[in-house]
Amino acid sequence: MSLEKYRAQTVVHRRNILGLSFATCVLMLSAAGYTQRLPSVARPQHYTLQLTPDLQGATFTGRETIDLTLEQAADSIVLNAWQLKFETVTADVDGQALPAEVSLNPDLQQATFHFATKLPAGPVTLKIAYSGILSADLRGFYLSRTAKRNYAVTQFEPTDARRAFASFDEPAYKATFDISLVVPQGDTAISNTNVVSDQPGPIAGEHTVTFARTPKMSTYLVAFLVGDFKCLSGSSDGVPIRACATPDQVQFAQFALSGAEFFLHYYDNYFGIKYPMPKLDMIAIPDFEAGAMENFGAITYRETAMLVDEKTASINAKKVVAVDVAHEMAHQWFGDMVTMEWWNNIWLNEGFATWMSNKPLAAWKPEWEIPQSEASELNQTLDLDAARATRAIRARADTPGEINEMFDDIAYGKAGAVIGMMENWE
């Protein structure tokens, strides 16, 4: 995720001597012992989701299947769920459908599925029918508005996938996803992977868009969007890249698209690991709280963080867009492909992307004098860290509120500076 303040941020310009292998080890530091965590009884393997948003009524319905493994026999399964209404829940075990009673704990944002008999250890398939609201607070599966129409979009980081579907909504619980969206005829649907099927129905005036299965990923990186989005198309290293926006704004997406084409090739070479998704979409959203969000294969942006008129924009306005694109694309490798186990290590996730983003920027636009900007940003970070209100870059975060507080200048600026210090240490 990008902080608004860090759109023009620069961090380090010398060659990386820290490998992804080192970063992976640090990210996987133990996160045991926190409160408001799910019990370690069940582990998801795969989700199948079908969602039908009602853009006028600001609601949606969902059909969900979760293939999971029970580590031990249990008569209940606890998941994250918030602001969802459950219609039916069953567990399929050895071909037998066992109904569940549902109890909700809004304070913990959890739902417990209770079964009359114990489920045996091993594979279990949950089947869930439910409904929810397209929220008005720019989180979860929410309603984004322009003067002309409504859009249904997502923002799940850090703990709001649970508003769209019952889930093991903690970053360590990675799983694959099959996603389909039932949307109004004429509307576009976008998700993490490429479209594999687009069929009319199930009723007149609708069509069902089905996407390819994702790689294993955390719930907070899932994304789906519905509306009359229009896209500019490009490619890099054989990967299709699109820059999408509302129809009246899409002409301002070319600069971001050009940057993404350069950055993807740069990162492919730098990391020695090819971009892992079948496509990359970047979508500018009219109502969006975060500066940008690194959803795997479907990066979302505030319009001012992605759209710019190349003919009239200042260099600083172009830097704002370029830094955000480079930052979120760095996350595709570090944060998406490799993910922290718990939110106490968000400093390394965001610090890495902050530190990394200026390397392709300096290569793409050497006339921007990125090292000078880096020095200025480092001085600002030192001033911030000298204040009495500073904190350690790695801190305990037990609840969604505490987790949200971790996304601050320390997690971006100071963490990026510390990684840069390690890079330059001899």
Interval 259-306: pLDDT, tens: 999 999 999 999 999 999 999 999 999 999 989 999 999 999 999 999
Contacting residues for 402 by C-beta, under 8 A, at least 6 apart: 396
Fold of 4-33+229-424: Neutral Protease; domain 2 (1.10.390)
What confidence tens digit (pLDDT) does each residue in 158-183 have? 999 999 999 999 999 999 999 999 99
On whether the 44-227 domain is CATH 2.60.40.1730, my answer is yes
Exactly one of 64, 157, 261, 328 is catalytic; name it. Answer: 328
Sheet of 96-105, strand order: 74-80, 110-119, 96-105, 84-93, 122-133, 59-70, 42-54, 176-184, 206-211, 195-200
How high is the pLDDT of residue 35? 66
Q: Tell me, yes or no, if 328 is annotated catalytic.
A: yes
Q: What is the pLDDT of residue 249?
A: 97
Cβ burial of 228 (10 Å; 0-12, 13-18, 19+) is middle
CB-count burial class (<10 Å; 0-12, 13-18, 19+) for 401: exposed
Please tell me the distance from the alpha carbon of residue 277 to that of residue 222, in angstroms, as a whole number. 13
Q: What is the pLDDT of residue 25?
A: 39
**Residue reference for tokens 């390394």:** 348
Q: Cis peptide leading into 39, omega within 30 of 0?
A: no
pLDDT, tens digit (0-9, with 9 covering 90-100), for 366-381: 999 988 888 888 888 8
Q: Which SS3 state, helix, strand or coil, does residue 160 take?
A: coil
409: how many CB neighbours lie within 10 A of its CB? 17
Q: Which helix (H) or strand (E) holds 375?
A: helix 370-385
Q: Is 110 exposed, middle or buried (0-12, 13-18, 19+ CB in 10 A)?
A: buried
Would you call 40 exposed, middle or buried from its count of C-beta atoms within 10 A (0-12, 13-18, 19+)? exposed
Q: How far apart are CA 402 and CA 398, in angstroms?
A: 6
Maximal C-alpha separation, the chain: 68
What is the reported pLDDT for 302? 97
The DSSP line for 253-315 is: GHHHHHHHHHHHHHHHHHHSS---SS-EEEEEESS-SSSEE--TTEEEEEHHHH---TTT--H
Residues 148-161: tens digit of each pLDDT:
999 999 999 999 99
Residue that the structure tokens 């969604």 belong to? 400
The pLDDT value recorded for residue 23 is 43
| 102 strand-pairing partners | 113
pLDDT at 2: 66
Q: Token pair for residue 195?
A: 């479209």
> Within the chain, which residues score under 50 in pLDDT?
3-34
Q: Which residues, other chains included, contact 235 with Cβ-Cβ below 8 Å and sequence gap of 6+?
A: 241, 261
Query: Could you give the residue range(s) of every CATH 2.60.40.1730 domain in the chain?
Result: 44-227
